[in-house]
Structures are given as structure tokens and as C-alpha cells.
Structure 1
Amino acid sequence: MAVDIMNIVLADDDSDDRLLFEEAIEEIDVKTNLSLFKDGKELIDYLVLPEAVLPEIVFLDLNMPVKNGMQCLKEIRNNDTLKDLCVAIYSTSSSEQDIEETFVNGANIYINKPNSFSALKKVIEKIVKINWQYHTSALNRDNFLLRL
């Protein structure tokens, strides 16, 4: 059964990045409901609310104040209600250490923030159209880092 509207959340402290992400989401041909958070603490505070609508995909920036993406990822994976969420790390960092650490801590995919709007749209569209059940069952380092 297909989801009519896909719930997506983005936690990113950069307001320009949040705006671009929102514009890109609006332009792809998948119906989405996007929630934006300016840091990891806001995101986790929302996700643990009893009335929270859990997203199909969480896009997490790594470098955020208050609570960074790595801390959020660990909290999500250690929470029984949240542990099965699909988490896409969405970061400017291309450090092998960051990529390795997020993989080991259970992120589903790692995306380097694209440097153009059209590339961003392509990335988001590709992510929301992934068959996550298949993708997560075949998770390995080769399909972890999304390269365009």
C-alpha cells in the first residue's frame, strides 16, 4: 500500500538550507508533508511527543548547535518508538570519519549537501522514491553514501 502523503522532517540550523530544501520538496512529484526544525533538540523534543506524526524519513544535518546530528541519530536508534525511522544524514561534511561514524550508528544513507538547487531536487527525489524496506535490508557501505 502506497503512502498518500509522505511525512518528512529536516533538522538543519542553516535557515537558507531549510528554505532551499523546502522549495526543492515542493517541486518534486511526490506529495509530502515537511516539518522543519532548527536544531536536534527541537527535532527530538517533537519526535517523542505522544501525538507526534512519525516521519517516513528524517533528514539530519550533522553540524548543529544544542544537539548535533550524531547525538540525534544515537537517540533515535536507542528509542524503541523511533528506532526504525529512516534517517538520512544531510551534511556539508564529506569526512570519511563522519560517514563511517554515522554508518556505524545506524543512519540509513549519507548525502553531501548538493551545491546547486537542481542537484538538491534530484537528491531529494531520489531519496523519497527509494524502496526503504529493500534499501535497509541490503544496507552496506556501497549504497550508504549517495553519490550523484
Structure 2
Amino acid sequence: MNKQIYNLLLADDDDDDCIFFKEALDELSLSATLETVHDGVELMHHLENAANNLPDMLFLDLNMPRKNGHECLAEIKNIEEFKNLPVIIFSTSLDSKIVDLLYDMGATHYIRKPGDFSKLKKVISDALAKASESSFKQPAREQFILQP
């Protein structure tokens, strides 16, 4: 993985998951900043206000209030300034029909939230490495789901 500074955005309404994610990121040996938003409406406002300085990656929870992750992904992929933003779905569920739909909608990767801290660190590191290696483009369907 190259040694750039990753500017990451996490959209997740669960405060504990946000803290867990930040602590895992802090323990990784890479340079990264993390901003968090707590619902889909806040996410879209954040992106609109940062249109000239988008994050390198968005980790997007599916089940959020006011606007869910599906709605946000559809909106992101339909806005010219945002459509190339790498979106990594970060969710507790792993329904194959939903995963297929999200792949078809243009998500970059899908991560099922691990409950174990070491697995969370590994999957975040893997997501950054794989996205960087592929120039932040969507992989083949077989490589879409990242598992710790």
C-alpha cells in the first residue's frame, strides 16, 4: 500500500460502531483522517459542502435514519461530482440479494461489520489496500465482499 494520507468518511448512526472504527483505524500503521456523519441526510450535506475536497473513501452503513445507505448510494452514483467516490458498504447484514443489488448500484466493496476488534482492523486495512491497488475502482463480483 502506498504511504499517502487517506481521508476517510464514515456514515453510521451507531456511536459505538463509530468509536470502534476510529480506534481500529488509529491502531493501523497508516496515515488516515476520519470524519463521521450519523445519518444519510447529514452525509449528503457533508458531500455537497466538500464537493471540491471529497474523501478518498466513504464507509457507508445501510441502516441509518432519515435517509438509508441504499438511498445515499443511489444519490451519490447519480450526481456527476460524486459518482467516482469509492463507497464501501459497512453493514451488519449479509443478504446475497442486497449485496448483488449494491454491487449493481456501483458500490466498491462490501464489508460485514465484524464484532471482533482485530478483525475490524484487518478488514479496514484490507479495504484500503484493495481499493488503492485497483485505483479505487469496483472489482469483479467475486472480490466485492471483503472478509477479515
Give TM-score, length-normalised by structure 2: 0.91
Shift of 1:100: 1.0
Distance 1:135 1:51 in 2: 20
Shift of 1:134: 2.2
Tell me the residue number matched to 1:35.
35
List, as ranges, runs of 4+ consecutive aligned residues in structure 1 with deviation greater than 6 Å: none
Tell me the residue number matched to 2:74.
74
Tell me the residue number matched to 1:22.
22
Q: Which amino acid in 2 is paired with 1:65?
A: P
Distance 1:51 1:142 in 2: 31
Q: For the structure 1 residues 43 and 126, does the alpha-carbon distance in structure 2 shift closer, same or farther, using more than 3 Å as the test?
A: same
Identity rate, percent: 40
1:56 aligns with 2:35: no
SS at structure 2 position matched to 1:67: coil
Q: For the structure 1 residues 123 and 48, does the alpha-carbon distance in structure 2 shift closer, same or farther, using more than 3 Å as the test?
A: same
Structure 1 unaligned spans of 5+:
none
Tell me the residue number matched to 2:114.
114
Q: Which amino acid in 1 is paired with 2:147?
A: R
Kindly report which structure 2 residues correspond to 1:68-107, keeping only aligned pairs within 5 A, or say none.
68-107=68-107
Count how many residue pairs are aligned between Structure 1 and Structure 2.
Answer: 147
Tell me the residue number matched to 1:12.
12
Contact 1:62 1:69 in 2 (8 A): yes
Distance 1:57 1:40 in 2: 16
Contact 1:111 1:147 in 2 (8 A): yes
Shift of 1:136: 5.4
Superposed CA RMSD: 1.8
